C-alpha cells in the first residue's frame, strides 16, 4: 500500500493499521485523497468545501503518533463530513443558499469526537438542501453525480458523502438519515451506510430537518469501516436530550465476529412483505433489484439463517405519515433562518420592515423543495388541521412501532431492498416530488420507529449494471446485530465476487 | 389621542359584575438559563451590567444545530412553586413549541408547556386590607423560556413605529419563567382592584419565600397580565375580556383593573361591545390603550417539542420538595405578627404595603422590628409614593438594617439617615459609602462642637445667664445655631449637654 491509488482504494481499517504501524503517514494518506478529489471532483461534485487545514491536521496526528501517543483506532484516517454538520473553520451550509459562507462557532458533537480521535476532516460534502431530497439535485450548489454513471443521481440527501466514497475521494464519511438519506445513497452507489438507533449518536450540531427522525451515522465502503466510525461518534452526549445513556458494545467487534464466523446459524431473518416487490407498492421495485435481493436471501439461508416472511401492514402508511411529520417539524426548525442573527440577508428594494426583510430573505434563500415542505408543514400544524394531519400521522407512527415490535417477535433482523430502484438519471424525478418521495419507501419505517438500519451492496442490477443495496433493520439499541449480519453477508458476497463490489466500478477522470 | 369615556366606579359596580383573571410570569433565579448553560441574568444583582449579548450561547441565539437541554434546578423550582400554589404536580409533563416570527425570539418559536403543564389545579389564599380572605383558584403553572429585548432606535416614542432601526439583546432570551394562570375569579365586586393587587402581592410573597426568584417587579422578575371582563349583574354568560399586559407594580395592578372596569362599563352602558384585545398600561397617564386584537384562534401551531423528553419527576422528588416548603404565607403572617409584637393595625399597615418580606428580611439582618417597620412604612414608603412606585425593591433590607444600626449607635441622626436612605435608593452606593462620600457622619468630636458653641455664645452672650437662672429652654437657640453651622451633622443631645456643662462651669 504505497501508490496513491492503493491508498485511496484501501479500507479505513487497513489505512488506520498502516498509519499506526508507521508504514505510511497520515499526511501521505490525506494528500493522496486530496489529489484524488482534485482529479475527479470536477466531474463528481461530491464536495462543497475542501479543507485547507487537512494536511496540517494530518501532520499533527503524525507527530502525536511519532511521540508515542495512543490515539483512537481510526487515527490519521481522512473523513468527509456531510454539510449538515456544524464545523469550526469550515462553512456549514446544509446545501442551502440561505447559509452560504456561514462558519459555525462550534463543532457538532460527532465532528468533535472525530477530531478528538485523530481523524482528519477532508471537507464538507454536498446534499439536498436541508436534507430534503433523494437525489442531491435539490442542493443550492449543483447536483452530485453518481461515480458509477455520471449521468445518474448518487441518491440523497447524502449523495455527496456516498459519491465521495464510491469515487475513492474519501475512505469514510459522516451522513445524516431522516428518512433514508444515508441508506438510499449507499444503495445506489454500492457503498455502506448505517442509520443508528435514534439517540445512539448525538444530534448536537446537526442542522435539524425533523428532530424526531434525524440521526447522524457512518458512511463507508465496508461494514467494518462503518462500525469503526460508529464506535468513534456514538454514545451519550449531555447536550442532546434525546441521546441515549446506554453503554454500547463495540460495533467493530460485532463486525469482525460476523465476518470471521462465516455462519448465521440460528439467525431469524424476517422479510418485510410490504417493503418488497410482493407488497402493495411492488410495482415500484425494479426487477434487477428484486433479483439481487432474492439471491442475497439465498446466500443468507445457505449460511444457516432462517428466512421468515413478516407482515407489517401499517408500513403502507409510512410515506404518508412521514410526509406530514417531517414537514411539520421542518417548518418549525427552519423558522430560525430569518436573516436576523446569521446567514443571508436580503433587503427588498427601498428597504423594508423586519417582516419584509425576513420574507425576502426566505424567498431568496430557500429552494423550491424547502418551500414546498415548509408550506406543507405549516398547513399540517394549523389550528383545525392539527388532529387530522399531524395527530393522525403520530398515530400511524405508533402503529408502525407496534408492527416492528411484533415483527421482532418472530425475527432477529428484518430485511428489504435498501431502495426500490438503482440510480435513476439526473433530472428524471426532479419535477415530480411524489415519484421522488417513493424512493424512500423502504427506508422511512426505520426512522418513524427509531430503529437502526444498514444498507450494503449485494451486486449490480443485470439490466443497467448499477449497484443494488440490501437493508437490514434491528430492534432499537441492537445496532451490533446489523454489523454482525452485515459483515457476514459482505464476506459471503465478496467470496463470490472475488473482492469488493467497488473493484468493478468504472474508472473516473 | 382621545380619552376613553369612563363610568364612575361605584355606578359601574352597581350594574356590572367584574370577572378577573391573571397571568403572572415569574423569572426563576437559577444559575443558568432554562435550556442552555449561559448565566441567567435574572439571578445577578444587575442584569444590565455586562452589556448586551454577553450572557448567550449558541442555544440562546438559536444557531443551526444547537439543541435545548432542560435545567433541572428550574424544574425543581417550578415543582416547589406548584406545590406552594396548592397545585397537583403532573407525573409527566412536556414542552411544546409555540411558533411565531419575532426578532426577539431567536428560534422563531418559544419552548413552552402547552397542553401538559407541570402543575395544575391549585388555590391561593389572598388576604385583603381588612383581613378578609379571598380564595383565588389556580388553573395551571407551566415552565417556559423568556424572549430577548428589542430597542427601537430613531423613533420619537421608543416604539417600533417610526423607528429607524432596532437593536436586539438576547441576554434575557432563555431566562427560565414560570407562568401562573388563574381560573376566572368571580364575586369580587367592588373589591376587584384590591383583590388583583393582593393576589399579585401574594404570589410575590410566595416566590420570595421559596427563594426561587428575585421577584422584583420593577426589574421584570415578576410580570402581571390582568384580564378583566364585565357581565351585567345576575347574568350567566361571561363578557368579552381584555388582557392588559405588563402591569408591573402592585399599585398599577389595582389601578389598571379599576380603569378597565370603568372603561368597559362606559362602553357597555352606551350599548357598545368590548373588543377582545391586549391592552397596554400607561403608568404615567393611569390609562390603558389598545394593543393588538386577540382572538382565541391565534394560531401558534403548537406541537410537542421533539428535542426534549417529557419531564417526569419521581414521587420521591415531589415529596422531598413538599417537605422542604416554607410555611404558608397565612401561617407565616400569624407567626411574624406574634414575633414582632405589632398591633393589628401596625401589622396590617406593613402587610397592605406589600412589605412583609422586606420587614422580615430587615429584622433578619439585625434591625429591631419596630425600627424596620418605621423605616419601611415611613420614609421609604413616602419616597416610593412620590415616585409612584412600590416601596418593596427600592432598597435592600440589608441596607435598611445597616442604616437603623447607624442611627442606634449615634453615627447618624434621624434626619441624616433619611438623606442616606434616599441616596442609597438613588444608587449612590451602600449606606457606608453614602455616609463617606457625602460626609454625613454625626460630628462627635467635642472640641469641634465646643468651638461652634463658643461662636454661638459670642453672638448671644445672654443665654448662659438665662440658663443659670433656670431658663434651660434658652439653650435651644444655641443648639439651633450649632446645628445650622454643623449642617445638621451634630448630635443635638450632646450639644445640649455641652451647653449645660458650660453654664455650670
**Residue pLDDT, tens place only, B203-222:** 998 998 899 999 999 889 99
Residue B170 is given by DSSP the state -
Q: Which residue of A has its CA nearest to B102?
A: A355
pLDDT tens profile B333-392 = 888 888 999 988 888 888 878 888 899 999 999 999 999 999 999 999 999 888 888 888
Q: Which residues of B touch A393 (CB under 8 A)?
A: none
Min Cα distance A342 → chain B (Å) is 8
Q: Give domain status of residue B230, yes or no.
A: yes
The CATH number assigned to the domain holding A61 equals 3.90.1300.10
Residue B47's pLDDT band, with cuts at 50, 70 and 90, is low
Q: Which residues of A touch B149 (CB under 8 A)?
A: none
Q: Give domain status of residue B355, yes or no.
A: yes
Q: Which domain holds residue A96?
A: 4-269+413-504
Question: Are residues A339 and A352 in contact, defined by beta-carbon separation less than 8 angstroms?
Answer: no
CA A295 vs. chain centroid, Å, equals 25
Give catalytic residues of A, as residue numbers. Answer: 82, 157, 181
Q: Which residues of B touch A354 (CB under 8 A)?
A: 103, 166
Q: Give domain status of residue A456, yes or no.
A: yes
Q: Give domain status of residue B206, yes or no.
A: yes
Q: Do residue B301 and residue B399 come from a single domain?
A: no
Q: Which residues of B touch A203 (CB under 8 A)?
A: 67
Q: Which residues of A touch B65 (CB under 8 A)?
A: 85-86, 92, 104, 106, 108, 204-208
B69 touches chain A (CB under 8 A): yes
Question: Are residues B437 and B427 in contact, defined by beta-carbon separation less than 8 angstroms?
Answer: no
Q: Name the residue among A205, A358, A386 with its Cβ closest to that of B101.
A: A358
Q: Give domain status of residue A354, yes or no.
A: no
Q: Taking CB atoms and an 8 Å limit, are B64 and A102 in contact across chains?
A: yes
Min Cα distance A351 → chain B (Å) is 11
Q: Do residue B134 and residue B201 come from a single domain?
A: yes
Q: Do residue B299 and residue B341 come from a single domain?
A: no
Q: Which domain holds residue B371?
A: 327-438
pLDDT (0 to 100) of residue B465: 81
Q: Do residue B400 and residue B480 come from a single domain?
A: no
Min Cα distance B47 → chain A (Å) is 22
Lowest-confidence segment of A439-443, B32-36, B138-142, B488-492 by average pLDDT: B488-492
Q: Do residue B233 and residue B118 come from a single domain?
A: yes
The β-bridge partners of A460 are A467
A240 touches chain B (CB under 8 A): yes
Q: With 90 as the cut, is the pLDDT of residue B505 above it?
A: no
DSSP states along A324-377: HHHHHHHHHHGGG-SSSSSS---PPTT---HHHHHHHHHHHHS-HHHHHHHHHH
Min Cα distance B154 → chain A (Å) is 14
Q: Give domain status of residue B1, yes or no.
A: no
Interface test with A, best of B64, B72, B292, B304 (most A CBs within 10 A): B64
Lowest-confidence segment of A204-218, A381-395, B284-298, B305-319 by average pLDDT: B284-298
Q: Do residue B454 and residue B375 come from a single domain?
A: no
pLDDT (0 to 100) of residue A160: 98
Give the residue-averaged pLDDT of B22-37: 97
For chain A, helix (H) and strand (E) counts, in that order, are: 17, 11
Q: Which residues of A touch B309 (CB under 8 A)?
A: 241-242
A391 touches chain B (CB under 8 A): no
pLDDT tens profile B157-201 = 666 677 788 899 999 999 999 999 999 999 999 999 999 999 999
Residue B50's pLDDT band, with cuts at 50, 70 and 90, is confident
Q: Give domain status of residue B466, yes or no.
A: yes
Q: Give domain status of residue A124, yes or no.
A: yes
B306 touches chain A (CB under 8 A): yes
Q: Give domain status of residue A387, yes or no.
A: no
Question: Are residues A202 and A148 in contact, defined by beta-carbon separation less than 8 angstroms?
Answer: no
Q: Name the residue among A208, A239, A381 with its Cβ closest to that of B301.
A: A381
Q: Which of B281, B297, B317 is the last residue of a domain?
A: B317
Min Cα distance B412 → chain A (Å) is 54
Say how many CB pairs under 8 Å bridge A and B: 102
Q: Do residue B452 and residue B434 come from a single domain?
A: no
Q: Give domain status of residue B244, yes or no.
A: yes
Q: Do residue B403 and residue B451 come from a single domain?
A: no
Q: Give domain status of residue B276, yes or no.
A: yes
Q: Taking CB atoms and an 8 Å limit, are B64 and A241 in contact across chains?
A: no
B106 touches chain A (CB under 8 A): yes
B189 touches chain A (CB under 8 A): no
Min Cα distance B98 → chain A (Å) is 9
3-state secondary structure string, B342-360? CCHHHHHHHHHCCCHHHHH
Q: Which residue of A has its CA nearest to B110?
A: A332
Q: Do residue B377 and residue B311 come from a single domain?
A: no
pLDDT (0 to 100) of residue B62: 96
Of A50, A58, A52, A51, nearest to A28 by C-alpha is A58
Q: Give domain status of residue A315, yes or no.
A: no
Beta carbons within 8 Å of A113's beta carbon, 6+ residues apart: A232, A233
Of B140, B150, B207, B147, nearest to B179 by C-alpha is B140
Give backbone dihedrals phi and psi of A157, rounded to 5 degrees, phi first: -80, -15
Question: Are residues A171 and A33 in contact, defined by beta-carbon separation less than 8 angstroms?
Answer: yes
The CATH number assigned to the domain holding B452 equals 1.10.10
pLDDT tens profile A418-467 = 999 999 999 999 888 888 888 899 999 999 999 999 999 999 999 999 99
Q: With 60 as the cut, is the pLDDT of residue B296 above it?
A: no
Q: Taking CB atoms and an 8 Å limit, are A342 and B63 in contact across chains?
A: yes
Min Cα distance A499 → chain B (Å) is 40
B86 touches chain A (CB under 8 A): no
CA distance linking residue B279 with residue B22, whole number of Å: 14
Min Cα distance B97 → chain A (Å) is 8
Q: Taking CB atoms and an 8 Å limit, are A341 and B109 in contact across chains?
A: no
Q: pLDDT below 50 — which residues of chain A?
A: none
Degrees, nearest 5: CA angle B403-B408-B410? 95
Q: Which of B390, B413, B438 is the last residue of a domain?
A: B438
Q: Which residues of A touch B67 (CB under 8 A)?
A: 203-204, 239-241
Q: Give domain status of residue A374, yes or no.
A: no
B67 touches chain A (CB under 8 A): yes
Q: Give domain status of residue A332, yes or no.
A: no
Q: Name the residue among B61, B109, B297 with its Cβ closest to that of A332.
A: B109
CB hemisphere CA count around A211 (13 angstroms): 25
pLDDT tens profile B383-426 = 988 888 888 888 999 999 999 988 887 788 888 889 899 999 99
Q: Which of B438, B459, B475 is the last residue of a domain?
A: B438
Question: Are residues A187 and A441 in contact, defined by beta-carbon separation less than 8 angstroms?
Answer: no
pLDDT (0 to 100) of residue B489: 76
B297 touches chain A (CB under 8 A): yes
Of A168, A163, A165, nearest to A150 by C-alpha is A163
Residue B297's pLDDT band, with cuts at 50, 70 and 90, is low
CA distance linking residue B197 with residue B143, whole number of Å: 24
DSSP states along B83-114: HHTTPEEPSSB-EEEEE---TTSTTSEEEEE-
Give the count of domains, chain A. Answer: 1
Q: Give domain status of residue A443, yes or no.
A: yes
A405 touches chain B (CB under 8 A): no
What number is the ipTM of this complex? 0.95
**Whole-number average pLDDT of chain B:** 90
Q: Do residue B474 and residue B409 come from a single domain?
A: no
CB hemisphere CA count around A24 (13 angstroms): 23
Q: Which residue of A has its CA nearest to B101?
A: A335
A336 touches chain B (CB under 8 A): yes
Q: Name the residue among B64, B67, B97 with its Cβ closest to that of A239.
A: B67
CA distance linking residue A387 with residue A193, whole number of Å: 35
Q: Do residue B141 and residue B45 come from a single domain?
A: yes
Q: Do residue B177 and residue B282 come from a single domain?
A: yes
Give the count of domains, chain B. Answer: 3
Q: Give domain status of residue B2, yes or no.
A: no
pLDDT (0 to 100) of residue A434: 83
B58 touches chain A (CB under 8 A): yes
Report for A366-380, B279-293, B438-452: range of highest mean pLDDT:
A366-380
Q: Which residues of A touch B101 (CB under 8 A)?
A: 335, 338, 355, 358
pLDDT (0 to 100) of residue A28: 98
Give this prediction's pTM: 0.86
Backbone angle region of A244, left / alpha / beta, with phi > 0 → left and psi within -120 to 50 → alpha: beta
Q: Taking CB atoms and an 8 Å limit, are B108 and A92 in contact across chains?
A: no
Amino acid at each position: 500500500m504505497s501508490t496513491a491509488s492503493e491508498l485511496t482504494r484501501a479500507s479505513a481499517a487497513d489505512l488506520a493499521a498502516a498509519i499506526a504501524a508507521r508504514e505510511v503517514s497520515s499526511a501521505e494518506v490525506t494528500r493522496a485523497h486530496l489529489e484524488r478529489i482534485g482529479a475527479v471532483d470536477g466531474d463528481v461534485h461530491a464536495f462543497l468545501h475542501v479543507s485547507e487545514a487537512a494536511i496540517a491536521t494530518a501532520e499533527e496526528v503524525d507527530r502525536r503518533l511519532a511521540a508515542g501517543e495512543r490515539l483512537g483506532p481510526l487515527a490519521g484516517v481522512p473523513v468527509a463530513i456531510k454539510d449538515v454538520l456544524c464545523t469550526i473553520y469550515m462553512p456549514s451550509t446544509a446545501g442551502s443558499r440561505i447559509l452560504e459562507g456561514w462558519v459555525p462557532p462550534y463543532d457538532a458533537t460527532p465532528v468533535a469526537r472525530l477530531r478528538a480521535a485523530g481523524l482528519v476532516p477532508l471537507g464538507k460534502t454536498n446534499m439536498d438542501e436541508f436534507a430534503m431530497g433523494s437525489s442531491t439535485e435539490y442542493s443550492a450548489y449543483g447536483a452530485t453525480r453518481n461515480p458509477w454513471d455520471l449521468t445518474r443521481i448518487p441518491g440523497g440527501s447524502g449523495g455527496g458523502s456516498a459519491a465521495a466514497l464510491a469515487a475513492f475521494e474519501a475512505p469514510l464519511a459522516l451522513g445524516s438519515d431522516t428518512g433514508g438519506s444515508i441508506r438510499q445513497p449507499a444503495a445506489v452507489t454500492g457503498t455502506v451506510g448505517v442509520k443508528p438507533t435514534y439517540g445512539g449518536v448525538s444530534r448536537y450540531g446537526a442542522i435539524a430537518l425533523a428532530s424526531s427522525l434525524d440521526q447522524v451515522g457512518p458512511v463507508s465502503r465496508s461494514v467494518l469501516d462503518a462500525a469503526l466510525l460508529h464506535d468513534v461518534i456514538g454514545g451519550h452526549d449531555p447536550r442532546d436530550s434525546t441521546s441515549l445513556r446506554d453503554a454500547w458494545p463495540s460495533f467493530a467487534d460485532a463486525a469482525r465476529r460476523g465476518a470471521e464466523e462465516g455462519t448465521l446459524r440460528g439467525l431469524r431473518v424476517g422479510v418485510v412483505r410490504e417493503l418488497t416487490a410482493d407488497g402493495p407498492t411492488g410495482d415500484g421495485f425494479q426487477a434487477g433489484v428484486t433479483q439481487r435481493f432474492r439471491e442475497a436471501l439465498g446466500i443468507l439461508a445457505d449460511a444457516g439463517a432462517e428466512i421468515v416472511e413478516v407482515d407489517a401492514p401499517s408500513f403502507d402508511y409510512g410515506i404518508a405519515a412521514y410526509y406530514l411529520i417531517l414537514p411539520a417539524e421542518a417548518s418549525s426548525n427552519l423558522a430560525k433562518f430569518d436573516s436576523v442573527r446569521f446567514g443571508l440577508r436580503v433587503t427588498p428594494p427601498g428597504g423594508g420592515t423586519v417582516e419584509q426583510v425576513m420574507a425576502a430573505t426566505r424567498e431568496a434563500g430557500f429552494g423550491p423543495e424547502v418551500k414546498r415542505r415548509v408550506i406543507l408543514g405549516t398547513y399540517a400544524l394549523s389550528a383545525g388541521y392539527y388532529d387530522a394531519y399531524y395527530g393522525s400521522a403520530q398515530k400511524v407512527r405508533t402503529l408502525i412501532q407496534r408492527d416492528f415490535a411484533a415483527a421482532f417477535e418472530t425475527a432477529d433482523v428484518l430485511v428489504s431492498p435498501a431502495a426500490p430502484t438503482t440510480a435513476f438519471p439526473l433530472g428524471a424525478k426532479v419535477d415530480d416530488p411524489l415519484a421522488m418521495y417513493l424512493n424512500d419507501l423502504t427506508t422511512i419505517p426505520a426512522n418513524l420507529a427509531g430503529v437502526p438500519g444498514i444498507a450494503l451492496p449485494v451486486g449490480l442490477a443485470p439490466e443497467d449494471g448499477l449497484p443494488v443495496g440490501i437493508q437490514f433493520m434491528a430492534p432499537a439499541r441492537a445496532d451490533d446485530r446489523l454489523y454482525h449480519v452485515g459483515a457476514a453477508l459482505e464476506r459471503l458476497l465478496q467470496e463470490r465476487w472475488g473482492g469488493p463490489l467497488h473493484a468493478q466500478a468504472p474508472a473516473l477522470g | 389621542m382621545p380619552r376613553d369615556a369612563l363610568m364612575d366606579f361605584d355606578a359601574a359596580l352597581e350594574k356590572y359584575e367584574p370577572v378577573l383573571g391573571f397571568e403572572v410570569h415569574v423569572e426563576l433565579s437559577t444559575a443558568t438559563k432554562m435550556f442552555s448553560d449561559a448565566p441567567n441574568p435574572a439571578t445577578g444583582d444587575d442584569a444590565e451590567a455586562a452589556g448586551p449579548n454577553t450572557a448567550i450561547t449558541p442555544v440562546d441565539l438559536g444557531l443551526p444545530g444547537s439543541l435545548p437541554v432542560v435545567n433541572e434546578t428550574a424544574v425543581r423550582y417550578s415543582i416547589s412553586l406548584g406545590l406552594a400554589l396548592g397545585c397537583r404536580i403532573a407525573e409527566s409533563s412536556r414542552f411544546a413549541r409555540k411558533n411565531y416570527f419575532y426578532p426577539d425570539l431567536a428560534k422563531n418559536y418559544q419552548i413552552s408547556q402547552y397542553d401538559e403543564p407541570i402543575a395544575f389545579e391549585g388555590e391561593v389564599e389572598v388576604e385583603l386590607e381588612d383581613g378578609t380572605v379571598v380564595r383565588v383558584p389556580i388553573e395551571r403553572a407551566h415552565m417556559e423560556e423568556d424572549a430577548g429585548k428589542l430597542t427601537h432606535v430613531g423613533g420619537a416614542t421608543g416604539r417600533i413605529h417610526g423607528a429607524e432601526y432596532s437593536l436586539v439583546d438576547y441576554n434575557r432570551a432563555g431566562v427560565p419563567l414560570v407562568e401562573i394562570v388563574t381560573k376566572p375569579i368571580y364575586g369580587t365586586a367592588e373589591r376587584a382592584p384590591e383583590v388583583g393587587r393582593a393576589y399579585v402581592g401574594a404570589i410575590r410573597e410566595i416566590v420570595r419565600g421559596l427563594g426561587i426568584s428575585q421577584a422584583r417587579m420593577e426589574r421584570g422578575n415578576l410580570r402581571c397580565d390582568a384580564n378583566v371582563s364585565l357581565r351585567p349583574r345576575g347574568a350567566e354568560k361571561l363578557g368579552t375580556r381584555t388582557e392588559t399586559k405588563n402591569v408591573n407594580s402592585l399599585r398599577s395592578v389595582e389601578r389598571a383593573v379599576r380603569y378597565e372596569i370603568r372603561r368597559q362599563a362606559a362602553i357597555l352602558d352606551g350599548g357598545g361591545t368590548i373588543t377582545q384585545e391586549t391592552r397596554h398600561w400607561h403608568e404615567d397617564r393611569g390609562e390603558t390603550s389598545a394593543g393588538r386584537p386577540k382572538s382565541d384562534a391565534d394560531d401558534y401551531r403548537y406541537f410537542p417539542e421533539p428535542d426534549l423528553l417529557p419531564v417526569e419527576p419521581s414521587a420521591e422528588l415531589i415529596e422531598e420538595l413538599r417537605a422542604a416548603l416554607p410555611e404558608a404565607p397565612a401561617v407565616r403572617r400569624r407567626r411574624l405578627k406574634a414575633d414582632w409584637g405589632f398591633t393589628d393595625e401596625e401589622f396590617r399597615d406593613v402587610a397592605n404595603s406589600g412589605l412583609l418580606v422586606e420587614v422580615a428580611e430587615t429584622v433578619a439582618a439585625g434591625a429591631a422590628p419596630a425600627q424596620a417597620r418605621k423605616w419601611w412604612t415611613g420614609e421609604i414608603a413616602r419616597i416610593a409614593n412620590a415616585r409612584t412606585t412600590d416601596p418593596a425593591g427600592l432598597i435592600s433590607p440589608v441596607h435598611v438594617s445597616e442604616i437603623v444600626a447607624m442611627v442606634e449607635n449615634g453615627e447618624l441622626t434621624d434626619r441624616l439617615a433619611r438623606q442616606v436612605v434616599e441616596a442609597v435608593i438613588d444608587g449612590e452606593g451602600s449606606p457606608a459609602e453614602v455616609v463617606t462620600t457625602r460626609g454625613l457622619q454625626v460630628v462627635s468630636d467635642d472640641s469641634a462642637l465646643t468651638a461652634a458653641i463658643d461662636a454661638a455664645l459670642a453672638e448671644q452672650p445672654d443665654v448662659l445667664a438665662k440658663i443659670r437662672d433656670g431658663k434651660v429652654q434658652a439653650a435651644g437657640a444655641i443648639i439651633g445655631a450649632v446645628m445650622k453651622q454643623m449642617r445638621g451633622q451634630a448630635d443635638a443631645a450632646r450639644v445640649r449637654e455641652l451647653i449645660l456643662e458650660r453654664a455650670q462651669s
